[in-house]
Amino acid sequence: MVVQKFGGTSVADPEAIRRLIEIVRTARTRDGRGPVVVVSAMSKVTDALLAIASTAAAGRTGEALQRVDELRERHAAAVRALVSGPAQTPLLAHIAGQLDQLADIVRALAVLREVSPRTLDVVAAMGELLSSRVVAAALTEAGVAADWVDARCAVITNNEHTSANPLGPETAAALRNTVMPILDGGRVAVLGGFVGATVEGHTTTLGRGGSDYSGAIVGAGIAAREIQIWTDVDGMLTADPRVIASPRLIAQLSFAEAAELAYFGAKVLHPSTILPAVERNIPVRILNSWKPDAAGTLITAQSAGTGARLTGLASKKDVTVIDITSTRMLMAYGFLRRVFEVFERFRTAVDMVTTSEVSVSVTVDDRRNLDAIVQALSEFSEVSIEGELALLCAVGDSLQGEPEIAARVVSVLEEVPLKMISQAASRRNITVVLPQSDLPHAMQRLHQEFFT
């Protein structure tokens, strides 16, 4: 059985949902069972919900309520187009009820003038909770018997609101109680991605783009044969198509390569998605919902053996480098511990690290606690920061056996002022930090060298 996750553009409107229905029908015919369908919010709905929360908290109630009505109309229109039988009236009533609740929250936020992470999760989760109801009803109407599953009863997480992580045993048990009976009853199970709840039942979300993660969590929980990520591109591409005009499709890559590309900016896959798949060794396939018959990208434990080629490029913008210098670091052990304790204390992830005898440079993309971090580091070192930088990452398992690839990467970039260069012992990527303004040109040069 497979888990099929559909992203926002793949459930954007009635036409997209009709394509989804045929994809689900095909999987069901092929496997004779399932599938489990995990859906994102309709495209742009999560952005709209977050904007509603902040507009409300800024006291602009009228504006926020107007956006609530736009969401009401968009979901109701999808229901009217897809569900005409007896299910239509109760579903429209349910949607109206949910959006009335959202309007109540808007008024409350306008009084309080602040949004707590816990409230933000209740608001953000509405997109997936609504889209999944619509998709379940549309499937059933089209003759593919489907039941809706409340993701808050299926994915149990810790209480890190807005970027929660699943609790393994609790989620496995919850999936056994919610999803499995539906599959055993010969029906399709449909749930919203991105959403979960704590053990106490408080709604959580898994971080932006987190529906992919939900797909993998569910796939691991029910020991799926394959986790499919249905999206709006042909698969994992050799570079971000918004940066490089015609990147190539990567037909196959390893979990480790995919994790690097996703972590360093290949938005097509949420970086946490790979872990549950690795733990249960479940292949992940990225597919285009506009071209259901195309092969897409297959991600498995084995690498594809690309010879002297790289697998792909990824990049992250708005990166900040923090340069930490201390003459006392010379020969001193314990210095790095003190440095990283500061990042731990301020819950800020470091992406890349390079060191010299007396200095350590790290990159971060989360600037929320930057001032406090600089202050804390300044207590035992000299600190300088530089912004408007980008991180460019060249990934390939082939880097392990073909040392000249690394040399080619750096020499292709000879005209670009590189701020940092790193290659870890796993030798699966070479990452450089460069001025953001040089990124498009650097990407083009590398892509041309390795992929055209």
Residues in touch with ligand ASP (CB under 6 A): 7-8, 40-41, 46, 127, 193-194, 208-212
Binding letters toward Mg ion, positions 4-43, x by CB under 5 A: ---x------------------------------------
3-state helix, strand, coil in the chain (%, to 5): 45, 20, 35
Residue 127 binds Mg ion, judged by CB under 5 A: no
Q: Which of 241, 305, 387, 401 binds ligand ADP (CB under 6 A)?
A: 241
Give the residue among 289, 293, 228, 287 at the shortest CA–CA distance from 19.
Answer: 289
Taking the complex as a whole, the smallest distance from the CB of residue 333 to ligand ADP amounts, in Å, to 40
Q: Taking the complex as a whole, how short is the minimal distance between the CB of residue 150 and ligand ADP, in angstroms?
A: 21
**Residue 57 contact, options ligand ADP, Mg ion, ligand ASP, none, Cβ 5-8 Å cut-off depending on partner type:** none
Could you count the other beta carbons within 10 Å of the beta carbon of residue 405?
20
From 3, 7, 226, 376, residue interacting with ligand ADP (rule: CB under 6 A): 7
Beta bridge partners of 314: 393
9 vs 178, which CB is nearer to ligand ADP? 9
Of residues 119 and 231, the one with the C-beta less far from ligand ADP: 231
C-beta separation of 380 from 430 below 8 A? no
Return the residue of 102, 236, 420, 432 that touches ligand ADP, per CB under 6 A: 236
Nearest approach in angstroms of CB 41 to ligand ASP is 4
Residue 266 in contact with ligand ADP, rule: CB under 6 A: yes
221 counts as binding Mg ion under rule CB under 5 A: no
What does each C-alpha distance from 294 to 78, 190, 210, 287, 289 come to in angstroms?
A: 27, 24, 25, 7, 9
Spatial separation of the C-alpha atoms in residues 390 and 33, rounded to whole Å: 46
Sheet of 284-288: strand order equals 146-149, 188-192, 36-39, 2-6, 226-231, 284-288, 297-300, 252-254
431 SS3 class: strand
Query: Which is closer to ligand ADP, CB of 180 or CB of 249?
Result: 249
Q: Is 440 in the site for ligand ADP (CB under 6 A)?
A: no
| Span near ligand ADP by CB under 6 A; candidates 157-165, 215-223, 260-268, 368-376 | 260-268
Identity of the residue, 51 or 87, whose beta carbon is nearer to ligand ASP in the bound complex: 51
Least Å from the CB of residue 130 to ligand ASP:
11
CA distances from 358 to 88, 328, 373, 375, 417 (A): 68, 8, 19, 19, 22
Comparison of 148 and 450: residue with beta carbon closer to ligand ASP: 148
The region of 49-57, 148-156, 265-273, 391-399 touching ligand ADP under the rule CB under 6 A is 265-273
Q: Which stretch binds ligand ADP (CB under 6 A): 47-55, 56-64, 264-272, 343-351?
A: 264-272
**CA-based radius of gyration for the chain:** 23
**Does 196 sit near Mg ion (CB under 5 A)?**
no
Q: Which is nearer to ligand ADP, 233 or 339 (CB)?
A: 233
Closest CA to 33 of 220, 183, 141: 183
Pure H helices in 247-306: 255-263, 274-280
209 binding Mg ion? (CB under 5 A): yes
Q: Is 208 in the site for ligand ADP (CB under 6 A)?
A: no
Q: What span, in angstroms and rounded, lies between the C-alpha atoms of 326 and 89?
A: 68
Q: Which stretch binds ligand ADP (CB under 6 A): 240-248, 398-406, 414-422, 432-440?
A: 240-248
What's the number of CA atoms in the CB half-sphere (13 Å) around residue 229? 29
Triad 278, 281, 283: Cα angle to 5°: 95
Q: Nearest-CA neighbor of 170 among 200, 205, 213? A: 200
The minimum distance between CB 437 and Mg ion, in angstroms, equals: 27
Check binding of 9 to ligand ADP (CB under 6 A).
yes
Residue 86: is the preceding peptide bond cis (ω within 30°)?
Answer: no
- The DSSP code for 182 is H
Provide the 8-state DSSP code for 333: S
Note whether 215 binds Mg ion by CB under 5 A.
Answer: no
Shortest Cβ 206–ligand ASP spacing (Å): 8
Q: Which residue is nearest to ligand ADP (CB)?
A: 7
C-beta of residue 57 within 8 angstroms of C-beta of residue 109:
yes
- Which residues make Cβ contacts (< 8 Å) with residue 378, sequence separation at least 6? none
State in angstroms the smallest separation of the CB of 50 from ligand ASP. 9
What's the CA angle centered on 251, arms 245 and 256, to 5 degrees? Answer: 100
Binding site for Mg ion (CB under 5 A): 7, 209
Binding site for ligand ADP (CB under 6 A): 7-10, 40, 209, 231-233, 236-237, 239-242, 266-268, 312
